[in-house]
Structure 1
Amino acid sequence: MTWLVVGTPGDRRPALFAAACRSSGLPEPVLVAWADVLRGAPVPAGPGDLVRVDSPGEDAEADALLRGPGDPARVGGGAAWYRAFTVALGRIDASVTRAGARLLGDVTEIGVMFDKRLSHARLLAAGVPVPVALPSVDGYAGLRARMEESGERRVFVKPAHGSSASGVIALQTAPGGRVRAVTSASMTPDGPVNSLRVRVYETEAEVAALVDALAPDGLHVERWLPKAAMDGRVFDLRVVVIGGVPTHAVVRTSRHPMTNLHLGGARGDLDAVRSALGEDGWHRALDVCARAAACFPGSLMVGVDLLVCIGMKRFAVGEVNAFGDLLPGLTGLAGGPAEGLDTYTAQVRAALMENPPHVPQDRTRAVTACAT
């Protein structure tokens, strides 16, 4: 049995997955570059092999193949990126199927998770709590009209195919035309770029220009659910669900509406959050995450961003992530199946339980197919 991971050379994800394979007694994984796959190269799998699809990562070559040439930091181009990405996923699936190998993640489900509108609709249909979405927003004028119709004064505006909070806008409005938009997007003469620094816009002209620049690629707009706070910082949870079971959780805290760790957020005290929620609240939180992941039964791992609302009595799923396991140094929840294991090792062990090797280890080579 060979393992394959489609990924980006030099990215941390393949390296961490390789370490997980070694610690589990498997040989070094073989990396299949996303850039090669995007150019049409088949995944070199054989009968009985396992194939992992990972994030395309921050690779300029792969980015240009996905959404065309340009500044890799630009926010636009998400629709083109998504089309090329899903086409490539389809080719990977066909190649793996022809070879008699098996994917560790269903490519159709990955595609749904990379469209916030589709994933929100799937979760809603399954009864998973999610923020109310505003329909048919195609620009700033339409956004304000939908907000007026629904009585919403605070919303999150998200690029339909974005990730890592790129282009996300936390928007507040007030009588008299006052607006306040918090975002990591910075407007330039060539359009918005992801500055990796949270900034604030307080003129309607600036906010309108930003929303209208993002709108052609598709928008998903949700009611802004105020997050709970501890020690003066709002927080949410990233919960990793492996094999249907919540195995890892990290508290993400911030002084801004976006809690992403790469935008200045910081890991919080999970024990303190559990204590504040109480055991019943904690188990209800994990149950929501498990229910969200159950909407994607073909995915070995689902990363769930869980919003903990003010009062710590209500929860909602903000997003689901096909590649939400990059949490270095985080080990599994005490008493759970991944206790003491990082997210990658836990996935390797779970996959081996479902797919025990049928050949001696010295004849097994792990091949990692990571989407970069």
Structure 2
Amino acid sequence: MRLTVVGTPGDRRVTLFAAACARAGLAAPLVVPWRDVLGGRPLTVEGMLRIDSPGEDAEANALLRGPGDAARIGGGARWYRTFLDGLDRLRPYPSFADVGDIAVMFDKRASHARLAAAGVPVPPALGPVGGYAELRERMAETGFHRVFVKPAHGSSASGVIALQAAGGRIRAQTSAARDAEGWYNSLKVRAYTDEHEIALLVDALAPDGLHVERWFPKAALAGRVFDLRVVVVAGEPTHAVARTSRAPMTNLHLGGQRGDLAAVRAAIAWDAAMDVCARAAACFPNSTMVGVDLLVGVGMRGFAVAEVNAFGDLLPNLTGLPGTSAEGRDVYDAQVAAYLRTSGEVAVQG
């Protein structure tokens, strides 16, 4: 028995999934490069398909956004259109994740609306915002003095702005920086207090689409704000990481650190938190894995879903939560096991 991965050869996700297949007694998965999918080349697929991240493939990135520095910010609308075309090529094949679900998860406006319609707690959204002037108008109308401005089709917090404006003062925190070529992701969260500079950034991002929502004040752990990345496999929250930071963005690649999950579990209503994550994942019922970014409110009270992630399972060296079906297994082992349970197939070494 053999599975197929659409991804980037050599990418860590692909390697970890292949290792999980080997542990389950499956043959090494066939890898179909994203550049082949996006470039219209013939595809060879065997068995169930796992659709993974385009990753660090320079050729795939150029096909998605056009030529240029991979670290640049912008081009999200083109990226999304090209990505959807690639997903359409994969639609005929049975897959771990429904291509329609993936498409919605990569549109923050659509995913927020789907979650809200299902009663999943999410931060209130401001609605469409076409630029900085309109953003400030909408903030004044709603009374939202603190908001998160997110590129509609972004990932890894690229271009995300945590914006505060009150009493004539303004402050924006973001990993975006500017050089002679334009805005790029610096991988370092910095603060801007010059309104002209902030307006330039928002207006540079706006043509690709923006999703803006009220800032949800996060709880703190050992002096650092935190949230949770929870992986839901086959409807069950199986893996979780507490991500802590001194900045509003907790992403590990932006300087966030893994926190004390045991301390978080002891401090919050854990079962209620996991229920929120399961309900969020249930909004994407045809996807075996959904990564959920869960916000925990100040005082360890209240929850809200910040993001849902189609490729949110890159959590190496993490085993499943005690008492779950994934206890002792990593996120990829859990997904392979879920496939074997639902397919009714028996793995044979080969």
What interval of TM-score do these two structures reach, taking the shorter chain for normalisation? over 0.9
Asked whether the 8 Å contact 1:128–1:292 carries over to 2, the reply is yes
Distance 1:84 1:170 in 2: 28
Distance 2:97 2:41 in 1: 20
Q: Which moved more, 1:349-358 or 1:179-188?
A: 349-358
- 2:165 aligned with 1:169: no
Q: Deviations over 1:177-217 (max 9, x none)?
A: x2100000112232210000111100100100000000000
Q: Which residue is 1:311 aligned to?
A: 299
Amino acid in structure 2 at the alignment position of 1:328: P
- 2:18 aligned with 1:18: yes
Distance 1:211 1:76 in 2: 11
Asked whether the 8 Å contact 1:169–1:183 carries over to 2, the reply is yes
1:361, distance to aligned residue in structure 2 (A):
2.4
1:71, distance to aligned residue in structure 2 (A):
0.7
Asked whether the 8 Å contact 2:172–2:192 carries over to 1, the reply is yes
Q: Which residue is 2:125 aligned to?
A: 133
Amino acid in structure 2 at the alignment position of 1:217: D
Distance 2:132 2:106 in 1: 23
Q: Deviations over 1:199-240 (max 9, x none)?
A: 110010010000000000000000001100011100000000
Amino acid in structure 2 at the alignment position of 1:74: R
Amino acid in structure 1 at the alignment position of 2:36: D
Q: Could you say which structure has the greater relative contact order, defined with CA pairs below 8 angstroms and 6 or more residues apart?
A: 1
1:42, distance to aligned residue in structure 2 (A):
3.9
Q: Which structure 2 residues correspond to residues 113-262 of structure 1 after superposition, within 5 A?
A: 113-176=105-168, 178-262=169-253
Asked whether the 8 Å contact 1:2–1:45 carries over to 2, the reply is no
Amino acid in structure 1 at the alignment position of 2:290: V
Q: Deviations over 1:312-342 (max 9, x none)?
A: 1200000000000000001000011000000
Give the unaligned 5+ runs of structure 1: 97-101, 365-372
- 2:319 aligned with 1:353: no
Amino acid in structure 1 at the alignment position of 2:141: E
Instruction: Give the TM-score normalised by the residue count of structure 1.
Output: 0.92
1:90, distance to aligned residue in structure 2 (A):
0.6
Q: Which residue is 1:370 aligned to?
A: none
Q: Which residue is 2:67 aligned to?
A: 69
- 2:270 aligned with 1:282: yes
- SS of the residue corresponding to residue 332 of structure 2 reads helix
Report sequence identity in percent.
67
Asked whether the 8 Å contact 1:5–1:51 carries over to 2, the reply is yes
Tell me how many residue pairs correspond in the alignment: 350
1:45, distance to aligned residue in structure 2 (A):
2.4
Instruction: Give the TM-score normalised by the residue count of structure 2.
Output: 0.98
- 2:24 aligned with 1:32: no
Distance 2:330 2:8 in 1: 20
Amino acid in structure 1 at the alignment position of 2:91: D
- 2:86 aligned with 1:91: no
Amino acid in structure 2 at the alignment position of 1:25: G
Asked whether the 8 Å contact 2:2–2:28 carries over to 1, the reply is no
- SS of the residue corresponding to residue 104 of structure 1 reads coil
Q: Which residue is 2:284 aligned to?
A: 296
1:43, distance to aligned residue in structure 2 (A):
3.2
Amino acid in structure 1 at the alignment position of 2:4: L
Distance 2:25 2:85 in 1: 34
Distance 2:133 2:272 in 1: 39
Distance 1:147 1:338 in 2: 43
RMSD of aligned residue pairs (Cα, Å): 1.1
Asked whether the 8 Å contact 1:191–1:213 carries over to 2, the reply is no
Q: Which structure 2 residues correspond to residues 102-113 of structure 1 after superposition, within 5 A?
A: 102-113=94-105
